[in-house]
Amino acid sequence: MDRLTFLGTGGGRFACILQARATGGIYLQLAKDETKPLEGGNVMRIHIDPGPGALVRMLAKGFDPLKTDALLVSHCHPDHYGDAEILVEGMTEGGSKKRGALVTSKSVLFGYDEFGPSVSKYHLSKPEIVKGLAPGDSVDVFGLKVEATHVVHSDPTSIGFRIHTKQGIIGYVSDTALDPAIGEANRGSRILVLPVTRPLGARIPFHLDVEDASKIVETVKPEIVFLNHFGMRVVKDGPEFAAHHIYKKTGIRTIASEDNMDVNIGKDIEIQGKPQHDDI
């Protein structure tokens, strides 16, 4: 049994600034031995896009930042990297141990035009693995395959992630405009985490609205979709309406994720403390 936890489901400038939804990112716990519970040394712990408040959110949830094994950062915008440096310090036990992995877009590590870098040279010297990926690249993170996937965003080096777990592939799409290559890159994903920053019919550059998201779901055809990264207008309108629209369009189970929501992943996918707006 693996577990996916949403430490925040907000995204975009104003939802982040006002904390209309938390922006702590996603915390993934993968069982090394599926016959044992998620505890102690039986777990690989991965934190994806730790935005502002990630450290506080994980502590409130009872997660130990000293036990993080890998940080994945999709691009160089603060709602995705805000707490990355302090979490590198946690992962490396205050910088005292060379441990853990930092896997990011190239802008986060090296900078690109006006973007970044967003992690200092000091912090880059601490993890055991530091890797900047471009779409199509992959890296072995302590036996776990992590691929970088295509997205289209204002940071041109932005990437998504495909994480190859024993329970199936988790496709994580970061901020993006609609592009057919995104759906193709995520085919075969059992779980799809998809950003819906804008409501239906209110597309802006470099972000998905609800209709755009439904087109990606139609291509990928995952077992389940978790909508994430809600902008202010989606929060105000109700993310459950976005989930309902996508389900009606695609027939695929679609969940409007909620802050602190846990998802157990085994033969079945079960949501702990089932969210109020599960539209199936």
pTM as predicted: 0.95
19-39: pLDDT as tens digits: 999 999 999 999 987 767 787
Q: Which helix (H) or strand (E) holds 44?
A: strand 43-48
* Sign (positive or negative) of CA dihedral 97, 100, 104, 106: positive
In this predicted structure, the answer to whether residue 279 has a pLDDT above a threshold of 70 is no
Q: How far is CA 257 from CA 111, 133, 172, 177, 264, in A?
A: 31, 27, 14, 21, 14
Secondary-structure class of domain 2-271 per CATH: alpha beta
% pLDDT > 70, the chain: 97
In this predicted structure, the answer to whether residue 277 has a pLDDT above a threshold of 50 is no
